[in-house]
Amino acid sequence: MTKKKRIGILTGGGDCPGLNPAIRAVAKTAFFCHGGEVIGFLDGFEGLIKNRTKKLSWEDVSGILTQGGTILGTSNRANPFAYGEKKKDVSRQALRNFSRLKLDALICIGGDGTLHIAHKLHQMGVPVVGIPKTIDNDVDATDFTIGFDSAVAVATESVDNIHSTAESHHRVMMVEVMGRYTGWLALYAGVAGGGDVILIPEIPFDIKKVCRELQRRSKIGKRFSIVVVAEGVKLADSKLVIKRKVKSSTDPIRLGGVSYRIAEQIENLTDLETRVIILGHLQRGGKPTDFDRILATQFGKKAVDLVMEEKFGCMTSLQGGAITSVPIRSGIARQKMVTPDFPLIEAAKAVGTCFGD
């Protein structure tokens, strides 16, 4: 008879809608299908380092399917291999805590940073399973990550809403979205919201071409233009616009504000009034979409399957509609970028969207 499993679980990195449905799916599958126990680590790897845990009950995971955020809390600073200001290696301490709790597995729900740590812990012998989540959708070897669709929905609604005020005032409106170094969020929200110009890091843009398109629209009687900008686009000097640096974070750079620089250039080169809206953390708030609830439910169930099969060092993955698993290392080996021949780029260009290239 298979032993009942004690499964540890944590959510790491920036939060996003869809984490709670994933926690719920892991816990309910473990309880209902295997009679197992689930121990939550609080605030991501901080909980593993400091041994701060909470045993999850049915009540804890009931009614959270529709809730954004994470009932476990999260942190994008607590890296067991480089902890605190002094970047101390406290991984042995984390391992000791894991062993003392007599856990059979650790499920890590997170993006690039969390999955890197999970991979290193697995190399040290921790039986790890990963679940990819991030609004940036930049984890490789999976078509989508949990949280991306919900962020796209928020950004799309914002682009929709900006149309009427842009039209009333005959303005160019720039909507800046997150996504870190990739343009997935800007591309999907830009296409879904009918952005006239979409600027993403993967397609270097020429400001003169952008201005030409805005002026062309103005001349043919379009009273406004919407420009959707990814926070990670680079200016002509190839520089990223950095908002702040969070020293103790796994990736200290925080982007934001590039739109103000682009807007200034547009106003200098044209007579078009240009305003900026930076959506920021709104994109990580609110309820998960139906897609994210479904993806999280399937990923959570699959993660428990992987634990039961003792298939460690793997993460769940969505590939062409199928839920499968891949080694964590293939998800983190490189950042998943939008390729210029990505079908959605081709479709957007076919309907007249300008990428400034």
Q: Single out the segment in contact with ligand F6P by CB under 6 A; choices: 21-29, 90-98, 172-180, 285-293.
A: 172-180
Handedness of CA 324, 53, 47, 146 (dihedral sign): positive
> Residue 116 interacts with ligand F6P (CB under 6 A)?
no
Q: Are 75 and 46 in contact (CB under 8 A)?
A: yes
Distance of CA 156 to the CA centre of its chain: 16
Is 136 considered catalytic here? yes
Nearer to ligand F6P among residue 39 and residue 146 (C-beta): 146
Q: Most distant CA pair in the chain: distance in Å?
A: 76
Q: Which burial class, exposed, middle or buried, applies to 333 when counting CB atoms under 10 A from its CB (0-12, 13-18, 19+)?
A: exposed
Q: How many residues bind ligand F6P (CB under 6 A)?
A: 13
Nearer to ligand F6P among residue 37 and residue 46 (C-beta): 46
Q: Find the helix or strand (DSSP H, E) in which 161 lies.
A: helix 148-169
End-to-end Cα separation, the chain, in angstroms: 62
> Residue 5 interacts with ligand F6P (CB under 6 A)?
no
Ramachandran quadrant class, 343 (left: phi over 0; alpha: psi -120 to 50; beta: rest): alpha
> Residue 183 interacts with ligand F6P (CB under 6 A)?
no
Per CB under 6 A, the list member of 116, 133, 180, 336 interacting with ligand F6P is 180
Compute the least distance from the CB of residue 29 to ligand F6P, in Å.
Answer: 27
Nearer to ligand F6P among residue 20 and residue 76 (C-beta): 76
Dihedral Cα 87, 89, 93, 99, nearest 10 deg: 120
Nearer to ligand F6P among residue 5 and residue 284 (C-beta): 284
In the 3-class helix/strand/coil scheme, how is 176-242 assigned residue by residue?
EECCCCCCHHHHHHHHHCCCCEEECCCCCCCHHHHHHHHHHHHHCCCCCEEEEEECCCCCCCCCCCE
Q: Are 309 and 166 in contact (CB under 8 A)?
A: no
255 to 294: interface string for ligand F6P, x by CB under 6 A: x----------------------------x----------
> Residue 301 interacts with ligand F6P (CB under 6 A)?
no
> Residue 245 interacts with ligand F6P (CB under 6 A)?
no
Q: Single out the segment in contact with ligand F6P by CB under 6 A; choices: 51-59, 174-182, 218-226, 258-266.
A: 174-182
> Residue 170 interacts with ligand F6P (CB under 6 A)?
no
Per CB under 6 A, the list member of 11, 76, 142, 250 interacting with ligand F6P is 76
Compute the least distance from the CB of residue 139 to ligand F6P, in Å.
Answer: 10
Compute the least distance from the CB of residue 182 to ligand F6P, in Å.
Answer: 9
DSSP 320-345: TTEEEEEEHHHHHSSB----TT-HHH
Tokens representing residue 347 in the block: 């479709």
Choice among 15, 43, 136, 196 that is catalytic: 136
By CB under 6 A, name the binding residues for ligand F6P: 14, 76, 111, 134-136, 178-180, 231, 254-255, 284
Q: Which residues are catalytic?
A: 136
